[in-house]
């Protein structure tokens, strides 16, 4: 029996994915539930978990969580928290029937966020992003991915990634950065030069400076084409960066196929993925990340979460928090919405937002309550864990421990 720095007791249920994820298909409903549990923490890691009556070790400190359920802290594997300006005019236009893609093609949408983000310095970007990160943490997220992508020029993309690095010491959550090559120049003749700049200069520089661990690209009719994405994937992999992609959001144009062929960690969105894409993803090691906030905010089709799991895929959930397609500032609400909008069952949604979301970032050391995992734990407001999938409109997370330390919410 190990010694512990901290022993959590009074846990009505410790509820966790089985260790060794990601889990796919039917295994996504296999949660382990330990009633009347205790969790021992040593040096920021989980040292032991089991029935309270089976703990016979010594603990320096004990916290009684008063009959509440405990789950792993959530992981949010897809956000765009670095932006300046707003998209209220786009939002209003969409309520009058103008389509998101049309706004983008006219030079608005993502391109308007690029203009305002380029005009802000690193310090301003940090100040704007900080409360957004804090909101996700308050909703239970202990690990958050943040993309650049509203920078456009090499210098502006680097500034966004520097802003993420500057946020790190300011927040308790573990932040992971991704370089996103978001939209091409509007002038067709400039696409090749821009892509060459991204592949030959930006990606190697980002890798050399350790500013991101992955590269992402938006593959869509109004954005990049699969053949263009292939060049970026090759450039990323040649300098040891992982690959991710925004695919099948409005049209399935081969983005998922290109990303899976390059061993992508995840393909994200999937709203228009059909049977061929679902079968391909289910037969691969790539995680399918669904983003229910986009369905809610843009009113587009929901990604086929149910079909993906039934086909045997590994599904993750993220907020996609961004000003244009998903102003969703709660990782827990993304989990709860995936149950309503994407047909996930509560157990599947919990696995999708914990160990599978960690796997979408290439992380295997979190997302389950098991010996050796990071002690990232969320205490719920109820004795029954299902409150995390049921609650809408307020946070059911009452206490959060990250790396074994309680943080204030």
Please, which residues bridge with residue 219 across strands? 224
Which listed option, Fe ion, ligand NIG, none, makes contact with residue 68 (CB within 5 to 8 Å by class)? Answer: none
Strands 405-407 and 315-317: unpaired
Contact 291, 262 (CB under 8 A): no
Any contact of residue 222 with Fe ion (CB under 5 A)? Answer: no
Please enumerate in sequence order all residues whose Cβ is within 8 A of that of 126, keeping only pairs 6 or more positions apart, or say none.
Answer: 163, 166, 167, 170
Which residues of this protein are in contact with ligand NIG, per CB under 6 A? 80, 109-110, 113, 218, 246, 249, 294, 320, 322-325
Q: Which is nearer to ligand NIG, 160 or 249 (CB)?
A: 249
Contact 375, 46 (CB under 8 A): yes
CB of 246 to ligand NIG, least distance (A): 5
CB of 194 to ligand NIG, least distance (A): 17
Which listed option, Fe ion, ligand NIG, none, makes contact with residue 249 (CB within 5 to 8 Å by class)? Answer: ligand NIG
**Pairwise CA distance, residues 298 & 294, whole Å:** 6
Any contact of residue 307 with Fe ion (CB under 5 A)? Answer: no
Contact 6, 60 (CB under 8 A): yes
**Pairwise CA distance, residues 19 & 365, whole Å:** 9
By CB neighbour count within 10 A (0-12 exposed, 13-18 middle, 19+ buried), where does 26 fall? exposed
User: Angle at Cα 313 formed by Cα 367 and Cα 229, nearest 5°?
Assistant: 95
Q: Which is nearer to Fe ion, 137 or 321 (CB)?
A: 321
Q: Which is nearer to ligand NIG, 81 or 294 (CB)?
A: 294
Q: Which is nearer to ligand NIG, 246 or 366 (CB)?
A: 246
Select the span of 67-75, 194-202, 255-263, 320-328 touching Fe ion (CB under 5 A). Answer: 320-328
Contact 103, 340 (CB under 8 A): no
Contact 143, 76 (CB under 8 A): yes
Across the beta sheet with 45-51, what order do the strands follow?
45-51, 31-42, 4-17, 59-72, 377-380, 397-402, 405-407
Give the residue closest to ligand NIG by C-beta: 324
Any contact of residue 145 with Fe ion (CB under 5 A)? Answer: no
Contact 247, 268 (CB under 8 A): yes
Count of residues engaged in binding Fe ion, rule: CB under 5 A: 1
Any contact of residue 320 with Fe ion (CB under 5 A)? Answer: yes
Which listed option, Fe ion, ligand NIG, none, makes contact with residue 319 (CB within 5 to 8 Å by class)? Answer: none
Which listed option, ligand NIG, Fe ion, none, makes contact with residue 391 (CB within 5 to 8 Å by class)? Answer: none
Select the span of 58-66, 314-322, 341-349, 393-401 touching Fe ion (CB under 5 A). Answer: 314-322
Which listed option, Fe ion, ligand NIG, none, makes contact with residue 218 (CB within 5 to 8 Å by class)? Answer: ligand NIG
**Pairwise CA distance, residues 145 & 58, whole Å:** 36
CB of 166 to ligand NIG, least distance (A): 22
Any contact of residue 376 with Fe ion (CB under 5 A)? Answer: no
Q: Interface residues with Fe ion (CB under 5 A)?
A: 320
């Amino acid at each position: 029996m190990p010694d512990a720095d901290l022993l959590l007791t009074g846990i009505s249920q410790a509820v966790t994915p089985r260790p060794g994820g990601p889990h796919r298909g039917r295994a996504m409903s296999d949660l382990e539930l330990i009633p009347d549990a205790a969790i021992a923490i040593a040096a920021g890691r989980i040292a032991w978990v089991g029935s309270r009556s089976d703990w016979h070790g010594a603990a320096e400190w004990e916290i009684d969580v008063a009959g509440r359920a405990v789950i792993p802290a959530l992981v949010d594997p897809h956000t765009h928290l670095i932006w300046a300006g707003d998209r209220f005019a786009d939002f209003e236009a969409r309520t009058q029937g103008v389509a998101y893609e049309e706004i983008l093609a006219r030079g608005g949408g993502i391109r308007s966020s690029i203009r305002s983000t380029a005009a802000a310095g690193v310090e301003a970007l940090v100040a704007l992003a900080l409360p957004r990160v804090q909101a996700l943490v308050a909703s239970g997220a202990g690990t958050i991915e943040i993309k650049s992508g509203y920078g456009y020029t090499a210098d502006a993309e680097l500034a966004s990634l520097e802003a993420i690095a500057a946020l790190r010491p300011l927040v308790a959550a573990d932040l992971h950065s991704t370089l996103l090559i978001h939209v091409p120049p509007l002038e067709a003749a400039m696409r090749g030069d821009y892509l060459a700049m991204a592949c030959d200069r930006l990606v190697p520089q980002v890798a050399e400076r350790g500013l991101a661990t992955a590269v992402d690209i938006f593959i869509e009719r109004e954005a990049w084409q699969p053949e263009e994405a292939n060049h970026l994937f090759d450039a990323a992999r040649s300098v040891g960066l992982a690959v991710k992609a925004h695919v099948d959001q409005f049209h399935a144009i081969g983005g998922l196929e290109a990303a899976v062929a390059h061993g992508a960690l995840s393909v994200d969105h999937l709203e228009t993925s059909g049977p061929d894409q679902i079968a391909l993803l289910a037969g691969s090691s790539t995680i399918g990340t669904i983003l229910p906030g986009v369905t809610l905010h843009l009113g587009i089709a929901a990604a086929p979460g149910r079909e993906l799991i039934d086909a045997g895929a590994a599904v993750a959930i993220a907020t996609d928090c961004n000003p244009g397609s998903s102003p969703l500032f709660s990782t827990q609400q993304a989990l709860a919405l995936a149950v309503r909008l994407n047909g996930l069952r509560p157990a599947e949604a919990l696995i999708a937002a914990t160990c599978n979301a960690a796997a979408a970032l290439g992380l295997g050391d979190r997302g389950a309550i098991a010996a050796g995992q990071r002690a990232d734990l969320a205490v719920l407001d109820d004795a029954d864990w299902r409150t995390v999938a049921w609650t809408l409109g307020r946070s059911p997370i009452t206490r959060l421990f990250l790396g074994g330390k309680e943080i204030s919410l």
